[in-house]
Chains A and B, each alone.
Chain A
Amino acid sequence: MIISGLLTLRVDDADDVRIPAKEPVVLGTPAYDAPVETDPRL
C-alpha cells in the first residue's frame, strides 16, 4: 500500500482543481494593440 500510495502522486489527474489553469491565450501582440500616440505638435 505504501508504494501504491507513492505511485498515486504520479497520476495525471486532469480534473484536479488544484492544478492551475494554463495562461489564457492572448490574441494579437502589444505592437498591434498599442494605443496610437498622437504628436503633441499637431
Chain B
Amino acid sequence: MSFGFLGIQFGFALQNANVSRIFETMGADADNIAFLWLAAPVTGMLVQPIIGYLSDRTWSPRWGRRRPFFLIGAILASLALLAMPNVTALWMAAGMLWIMDSSINISMEPFRALVGDLLPSEQRTTGFAAQTFFIGVGAVVASSLPWMFTNWFDVPNTAPAGQIPQSVKYAFYMGGAAFFLAVLWTVLRTREYPPENMAEFEEEKRRNAGFFNGVRESFAGIFAMPKTMRQLALVQFFSWLALFSMWIYTTPAVTSHIYGTTDATSKLYNEGADWVGICFAVYNGVSAIAALLLPYLARATSRRFTHMLCLVAGGLGLISIYFIQDPNMLLLSMLGVGVAWASILSVPYAMLAGALPANKMGYYMGVFNFFIVIPQVVAGLILGFFTKNVFDGESVYTLILGAFP
C-alpha cells in the first residue's frame, strides 16, 4: 500500500533538485528564485486539507475512498513532469511548478490517510516507516538521475542558453513514468474497507453537502484539533524548522566553515557544495535503513521515546558540524540526521492516526501539513535575519541555532 510513495518521491526529488536550475536557465535572478518557490508550500497548504476532506466523504465499492485521488494526482503529476523540462519561458516554468506541486499533493495526502484507514494501531508505525523507506530510496535514486544519465549513458548535461540539458529532460521523463507506474501499483493492489456504518456515512454527507458547508466545516476543524494533534503540531513545527535551516544553510556553512571559502566560483567551494550533495544522499540512505528498524525500537520502548531519541540524535548531528574539520567526518553527522529524518516522516503520523476520528482522517492529515509549511515560511523570514545581523554572515551558527529547537 505504500509502494506508490516511491513514485511520489521521484516527483518531489526531481522538483527539489532541478526546478531552481530550470528557473535560472529561463533567466530568473537568484533573488527571485525564493519567491517563485513560494508557490509550492502555499499550494500544499491549501490542497492537502481539501483533498483530505473530499476523500473522507468519498466511497465507491469499485474504487474505494483514497485511490481515486491517487490516480487523478498521478496522471496530472506525470503529465506535469513530462512538460516541465520543455518550458520555454520563466512564467511557464513558474506556472508548471505550481501545477506539478498541486498534482503531487493531490496524490500524496491520501497516502498518509490510507495507512491510518487500513492498519490497526500496532501496525501503523510499520506502515509509516514503509513510506519513509520508499521516500529514502526514491530521493537517492531520483536526485541522482541527471548524474546517472550523464556519467553512465553519455547524455549531455549542458545546453545552449535558455535550454534545459538533455540529462535533466530524460530524468523528468523517467520520473513521470516511475510516478505513474508506482502509484498505479498501489491503486490496483490495495483493497480499502467501506465506512463502518454506511447509513451514518451517507447521512453525514447529506448534512454537510454544499461548498459553503465544506468551507465552514474545514475552518471549524482547524480550531477543534484533538489534543494529541496539538501537542504533535508543536513537535513538528520545531523539527521542520531545524530541517529547513539545514537544507538552506548546510552548503554555505560547510563551504565556509570546513572548506574555508565563500567564493562560489572557486574550485574549493564547488568541491564543498558537491560534498554536501553526497552528505544529503547519505542521510536519505540512512533514513531508508533506519525506517526499517524504527518499528522494533518503538515496540521495545515506546513511540514517544523513539522519536525523542531520534530527534536528539539529529540535533547532535547538526551541532557536530561546528566541530568538524575533516569533510569525511560529516558523514557521521549525517547518521544522526538520517535517523531523525526517518522518525520525523513516520512516528508523528503513527501517533496522530491513533488520535483522529476515522471519518476525518484525511482532513486532519492534510491540516497536519500546516506544521510543515508554517516553519518553512518562518525559516524564510527569520533565519536570513539571524544569519546577517546576529551571526555576522557565519551560517554555521544558523545551523546550530536550528538544531536546538
A residues neighboring B (CB under 8 Å):
1-18
Contact = CB atoms under 8 A, between A and B. Distances in A.
B312 A2 contact: yes
Contact of A1 (B231, B354, B355, B405): B405
Nearest to A17: B122
Given A2-B403, A3-B238, A5-B312, A15 B307 contact: no
Contact of A12 (B231, B242, B308, B402): B231
Nearest to A12: B228
B238 A1 contact: yes
A14 B227 CA distance: 11
B340 interface: yes
5 contacts: A3-B405, A5-B312, A8-B235, A12-B227, A13-B354
B234 A1 contact: no
A11 B304 contact: yes
A15 B305 contact: no
Main secondary structure of the interface of A (DSSP, over half): loop
Nearest to B314: A1
Contacts of A3: 238, 404-405
Q: Which 3 A-B pairs have the closest CB atoms?
A: A5-B311, A15-B354, A4-B238
Given A1-B405, A2-B403, A15-B121, A8 B308 contact: yes
A16 B304 contact: yes
A7 B124 CA distance: 21
Interface in B369-405: 402-405
Given A12-B227, A12-B228, A12-B231, A1 B312 contact: yes
A2 B311 CA distance: 6
Interface in B299-316: 299, 301-305, 307-312, 314-316
B318 interface: yes
Contact of A13 (B238, B304, B404): B304
Which of A1, A3, A9, A13 has the most chain B CB atoms inside 10 A of its CB? A1
B126 interface: no
A1 B304 contact: no
B302 A13 contact: yes
A16 B121 CA distance: 8
Nearest to B355: A14
B403 A10 contact: no
A14 B354 contact: yes
Which of B122, B234, B309 has the most chain A CB atoms inside 10 A of its CB? B234
Contacts of A13: 228, 302-304, 351, 354
Nearest to B238: A4
Nearest to A1: B315
Nearest to A19: B302
B302 A1 contact: no
A9 B304 CA distance: 5
Given A1-B340, A2-B404, A15 B315 contact: no
